[in-house]
Every structure is written in structure tokens, then in C-alpha cells.
Amino acid sequence: MKFFIDTADIKEIKELAASGLLDGVTTNPSLVAKSGAANFIELITEICKVVPGPVSAEVAAMDYDTMLKEGERLAKIAPNVTVKLPLTYDGLRVCKVLSGQGIMTNVTLCFSANQALLAAKAGATFISPFIGRLDDVSMDGLQLISDIVQIYRNYPELSTEVLAASIRHPVHMLECAKIGADVATMPPAVLKQLFNHPLTDKGLAQFAADWEKSGQTIL
């Protein structure tokens, strides 16, 4: 499974990229606004220099012609830019064109398996089903991941990767990995939570105490 982080905070991206655990980054207009970046193009350019893997940059337009122009502009920033498109009729039309040009695409705001099938037919590199937002309205977000994975496996000619999004906590991560999602994108805080376990902390504390008692040093 590939790990992406869902943020536009360049400081957090640099920190996690240095760990070697980061395979890519996803951004959206809300995250870009939250980052306080003054120039969207410059921000994506900087992220692409830090992270060699896919970096999702989302179009702002909703109509076909403008979305296509924006997508082509974003794709020129760097080879690892993934143009993020809405799961609408025009969004999928743009996805088909950009995919035909060899440009990576990420179709976002997926809430049904039928939508995911359409995105795959349009040649999307990634499909982003939103787990947490479905859970928020008393629907089963993880079941959607399972349904999409199963459908894609039925048709080997479909190359779209399942990018589990709107991940809220480590249990979402675990279940997505068990189901077989190709990628998970999560806030940096959730990725850092994956390290945590009370028995690890307890064991390290005991090791440190015993080592101190020994009076030895390594250096």
C-alpha cells in the first residue's frame, strides 16, 4: 500500500518526506486555502520538488473547457503532478482527454461504486472514495472501498488505483489495507498515529531504565 498525505502544508510535507514513508501528496482547494499559500502554482511546484511521487493538484473550474485548460496548465508544473478532477460528467470527459495525453489524473469526491466504475472507464489513474464523509451521514465508507476493489479486480483491463480518502483514524487505515486499497491518503496527524502503541512506549521505557542501571555507553 502506498501512503499519501492529505495536506498543502509544505513544512509537514518536508518533515514526512524525509522519513522515507511518503509516496505522494493530495491537496484540494480547502487545504491550499488553509495553508495560507499566496500562489497556488508556486506551492504545487515546491511540493513536487520535495516529493517525487504523485502530487494531486485540483482544478477550480466546473465546466469542460476551463477544466481542460486548467488541467493542462497544472500538468506542465512537473511530471509528477496528478490533475485532480471532480466526479462529474464534464470532469470525466476531461479525465479521458488528459489520460489520453499521458497525464496522471485523480477523480475525487467519489461516493458510489458506480461512480468509481465510470472513472475507471474514463482512464483515471486514481479514484478517491471518501470514507469519513460517508460515515458522517451514517453510511459505510469502508464498504464502498471493498465494493470498488472487488469490481476493479473483476476487470483486469481497468488500471485505476483505489485511493482511499477522508481517512479519519488508524482503524480506517488498517481496514483499507486489509481490503486491498492501493493507496491511502490521510492527514499528517493520522500517519503519525500509526507509530503509536502503549506497549511500545512501555517497552522502550523499561529498556532505557535497565540500560541506565547498567552504567554502559555505546559512544
C-beta separation of 163 from 128 below 8 A? yes
CA distance 20 to 211: 29
Strands 24-26 and 161-164, by their bridges, are unpaired
Please confirm, yes or no, whether 84 is among the known catalytic residues: yes
Distance separating the N- and C-terminal Cα atoms of the chain? 38
Burial string for 64-79 (b: 16+ CB within 10 Å, else e) reads beebbebbbebbebbe
Catalytic, out of 69, 76, 84, 178: 84
β-strand partners of 165? 130
Question: What DSSP letter does each residue of 12-32 carry, written as one string?
Answer: HHHHHHHTT---EEE--HHHH
Catalytic residues: 84
